[in-house]
Chain A
Amino acid sequence: MSGARLAALARKEMIQIWRDRRSLWIALFMPIMQMGLIGYGASLDIKHVPVCVSDREGSQASQDLLKRFQASAYFELVGNVADDRALTAAIDAGRCRIGLVVPPDFSERLRDAGGAALQAVVDGTDDNSANVAIAYARAVVSGYSADVRLDFLRQRGLAGQATAPLGVEPRVWFNEDLESRAFIIPGVVAMVMALIGALLSSLTIAREWERGTMELLISTPVRPLEIMLGKLLPYFGIGLLDAVLCAAIAVGWFGIPFRGTLAMLFSTAALFLIVVLGVGYIISVLTRNQLGASQIALLVTLLPTTLLSGFAFPIDQMPAPIRLLTYLVYGRYYVTILKAIFLKGAGPQALAAPILALVAYAAAIGVLAARAFRKRLV
């Protein structure tokens, strides 16, 4: 290993990155763009579900109930419809996701012991949103129903027995507001790093082959390991810069809490980058052309990291074989690590398992990458 050759390669690569505006854009603006897009787009919370109302009674009681829907942040009353047909039309047209039908005998039945029923017609095309919306609607209705019962009992002088005997008061830790954004965005940081790192490093060796500079490079006494390290060193720096950039966007823009230490962030980012850059480099060595390499890097990185890393879709809820598969996805370990660093402020002890998994991955990829490139033309 020669320091002079390593330095010559790293300096050359840096000059080339600086002059190639395309890789500069990928390195610096893609993280910002992806953080913005995924950060805003990937919220799993459901708010302001549009609701159409068909109030067949128009009584004080029905208006009270509907006002509770209006007051909730989860619903937004977008219009009144006269009958079922108009309601169906409104849902078909996508003007609302839920239609609430208040029956004509609503207040009368409310006073009876049998109780009143409210019909909710839900657009089930998006089952997740539908389930969440139904749950929210139930909550609104049961809140209303409890109040009605309380009033009823009070009127009969039985207020003393009106409080519920047992209740759960949940206390949520780490993501106190249960915002899905806080859960997702640390994972987005991992995804962006995986994507950018693999994409940029997948071009390195392929570019030399494509431009015809590889032949001359091989004819010099430079060692394969020097080529690998010299080429990846600048991208390692860019990757760390991107990690800081993404973390800054997560904290400064999206208001995600950062409870961990910068040392943890940097050291785990460095570890993850070794894996990511190694994967891109191996792809580059094997394909020898930039377009093919970048396509494969995208495919290999994007799909597993999006679907199987647990960045948005919880791994616990996957079927067992898929769950086993996620252990192969290096993104999963880093997503776990980042979420814990951001939200819990976790240190090395708490994260020993995923960190060791990444260390093992980095070692394996490092060895493969170091052996991948041979100084031969064919």
Chain B
Amino acid sequence: MSAAQPDRAAVVVDRLVKRFGTFTAVDGVTFGVDRGEIMGFLGPNGAGKSTLIRMLCGLLRPTSGRALVAGLDVAREPEAVRQHIGYMSQRFSLYGDLTVLENLRFFGGLYGVEGREFAARSSWALEMAGLRGRESTLASELASGWKQRLALGCAVLHRPPILFLDEPTSGVDPIARRAFWELIQQMAATGVTVFVSTHYMDEAEYCHRLALIHRGRLVGLGAPEVLRRHALRGALLELECEPVGPALEALQAAPGVLDAAVFGSTLHVLVGSAESACAELPAQLAARGVRCTRIRTIEPTLEDVFVQQLGAGAPQEGAPP
């Protein structure tokens, strides 16, 4: 089943809002995604990623705003949208009491993939998921990596031009995750548009473009490398200090420091100028009884960008932890 693609835009989202009672889960999000693009939704749990994906799949009705998927309005024609998409939900949602093949057959039946087409597609899915020879294993007995790939197989049986994957790799081991992402990239290379949400920063690097989502708002949008280079206005320093708590307080108050955050056992500090900061900060910290063992300039990671953008996206909340 291939969709009519009137233009390059696979998905257009315009000021989309979803409220549950008084809680605003998605708050005026706007973006567009081209064919064959891998669009990543990055954000902490509860940021609104799943709600956004569910609206785009026609599972939830938007409170306001508009979303076009494959040129179809998700609020007006959810059934038509469903013909053009494949969806993998956050939770494993295949039938555990059905075998691998029975699950494929079931979804094949629902999507109208039958006969010779089903034979070809299910065979491809089994190969892709590495489940050949395990056709009659119950889905519930598969390890999590295989479960995810079977779910992907079921979601793409009908060759949907647009794929929505909601945290597809949560609970999957790193090797299986890598294999999974290779599959996603292969599909994107054939023109499939892929939406994927994750809270793994390392996975975000696989995406062509990232939407940083926090408290229902879009706080950053761009390619990972672009976000990394341009989102931070200034230089990033990594400090190893003892004790960490007072060090953070001192740094946030120090002149020339734009932002400071704890990263594991170290501190990441965004400064206007790396040279002056390296010269002045150790003395300022020492005055507060903080001993600095190491200070160096580092390349910003997506996590740094994200933490920085969160501060910008929710200024009333002050600096994030």
Tally A-B pairs: CB < 8 A.
84
Nearest CB in chain A to that of B78: its residue: A375
**With contact pairs A8-B106, A220-B111, A221-B110 given, residues A215 and B61 touching in the complex (Cβ less than 8 Å):** no
Docked Cα-Cα span, A4 to B113, in Å, equals 9
Bound Cα distance A177, B168 (Å) = 70
User: CA of A375 to CA of B87 in the docked complex: distance in angstroms?
Assistant: 15
Decide if B85 touches A219 in the complex (CB within 8 Å): yes
Instruction: Let me know if B109 is at the binding interface, CB within 8 A.
Output: yes
In the bound complex, residues from chain B placing their C-beta under 8 Å from that of A221 are 79, 82-83, 110-112
Q: Which residue of A lies closest to B20 (CB)?
A: A378
Residues 188-232 of chain A, each 1 if its beta carbon lies under 8 Å from chain B, else 0: 000000000000000000000001111111111111000000000
Q: Are B89 and A216 within 8 A (Cβ)? A: yes
Most buried by B among A7, A220, A378: A220
**In the complex, A16→B98 CA distance in Å?**
7
Q: Are A8 and B93 in contact (CB-based, < 8 A)?
A: no
Closest CB in chain A relative to B233 CB, distance in Å: 40
Is there an interface contact between B107 and A220, defined as CB atoms closer than 8 Å?
yes
* Interface residue? A5 (CB, 8 A): yes
CB closest residue in chain A, given B154: A216
CB < 8 Å neighbour of B93 from A4, A216, A375: A216
Q: Do residues B94 and A216 form an inter-chain contact, with CB atoms below 8 A?
A: yes
- Within 8 Å CB of A376, what residues of B? 59-61
For A220, list chain B residues within 8 Å (CB): 82, 107, 110-111
Q: Is the CB of A20 within 8 A of B59?
A: no
**In the complex the two chains form, what is the Cα distance from A9 to B107 in whole Å?**
9
Is A19 among interface residues, defined by CB-CB distance under 8 A? Answer: yes
Q: How far is the CB of A24 from chain B (nearest CB, A)?
A: 12
Set of chain A residues within 8 Å of B111, measured between Cβ atoms? 220-221
Which residues from chain A contact B87 at a C-beta distance below 8 Å? 216, 219
* B61 A212 Cβ-Cβ under 8 A: no
Determine the residue in chain A with the shortest Cβ distance to B87. A219
A370 to B102, CA, bound (A): 27
Contact B92 A212 (CB under 8 A): yes
Q: How many A residues touch the partner, as a band?
A: 20 to 34
The distance from the CB of A290 to the nearest CB of chain B, in whole angstroms, is 14
Q: A8-B105, A220-B82, A220-B107 are in contact. Are A377 and B112 (CB under 8 A)?
A: no
Q: Among A7, A16, A219, A378, which residue has its beta carbon within 8 angstroms of that of B95?
A: A16
Known pairs A4-B109, A220-B111; A20 contacts B60 (CB<8 A): no
For B20, the chain A residues whose CB sits under 8 A away are 378
Residues of A325-378 whose CB lies within 8 A of B: 375-378
**Bound-state Cα–Cα, A219 to B165, Å:** 12
Task: Decide if A168 is an interface residue (CB 8 Å cutoff).
Answer: no
Question: Do A377 and B59 have beta carbons less than 8 Å apart?
Answer: yes
What's the nearest-Cβ distance from chain A to residue B110, in Å? 4
Contact between B59 and A213, CB atoms less than 8 A apart: no
Contact partners of B112 in chain A: CB under 8 A? 2, 4-5, 221
Say whether B60 contacts A378, CB under 8 Å: yes
- Convert B149-188 into 0s and 1s, putting 1 for each residue whose CB lies closer than 8 angstroms to a CB of A: 0000000000000000000000000000000000000000
Q: How far is the CB of A347 from chain B (nearest CB, A)?
A: 41
Q: Does B97 sit at the interface, judged by CB under 8 A?
A: yes
A119-152, CB < 8 A from B: none
Distance of A289 from chain B, by nearest CB (Å): 16
Q: Name the B residues within 8 Å of A216 (CB-CB).
A: 87-89, 93-94
Q: Which residue of A lies closest to B113 (CB)?
A: A4
Q: How far is the CA of A378 from the CA of B50 in the complex (A)?
A: 14
Q: In the assembled complex, how far is the CB of residue A47 from the closest CB belonging to chain B, in whole angstroms? A: 49
With CB as the reference atom, state the residue of chain A lying closest to B84.
A221
With the chains together, A218 CA to B59 CA distance in Å? 7
Residue of A nearest to B88 (CB): A216
Closest to A10 in B: B109
Cβ contacts under 8 Å, A4 to chain B: 109, 112, 114
Minimum CB–CB distance for A22 against chain B, Å: 12
Q: A212, B110: Cβ atoms under 8 Å?
A: no
A19–B97 touching, CB < 8 Å: yes
The distance in angstroms between the C-alpha atoms of A11 and B106, with both chains bound, is: 8
Give the complex CA separation of A376 and B97 in angstroms: 24
Q: Type the 1/0 row for B103-127, where 1 means its CB is closer than 8 Å to any CB of A.
A: 0011111111010000000000000
The reply on B272 being an interface residue by CB < 8 A is no
Bound: A218/B98 CA distance, A: 18
Interface centre among A8, A16, A221 (most CB of B within 10 A): A221
CB pair B106 A377 closer than 8 Å:
no
Query: Does A68 make an interface contact (CB < 8 A)?
Result: no
Does B96 count as interface, using CB distance less than 8 angstroms? yes
Given contacts A5-B109, A215-B91, A221-B111, 9 further A-B contacts (CB under 8 A): A4-B109, A4-B114, A5-B112, A12-B95, A16-B98, A219-B59, A220-B82, A220-B111, A377-B59
Interface pairs (26), CB distance under 8 Å = A2-B112, A4-B112, A5-B110, A7-B109, A8-B106, A8-B108, A9-B109, A9-B110, A11-B109, A12-B98, A16-B97, A19-B97, A20-B97, A211-B95, A214-B93, A215-B59, A216-B87, A216-B94, A219-B82, A220-B107, A221-B83, A221-B111, A222-B110, A376-B59, A377-B54, A378-B60
Binding site for A on B (CB under 8 A): 20, 54, 57-61, 78-79, 82-83, 85, 87-89, 91-98, 102, 105-112, 114
> Lowest 9 CB-CB distances: which A-B pairs, in order?
A8-B109, A219-B87, A216-B93, A220-B110, A212-B91, A221-B82, A215-B89, A12-B106, A212-B93
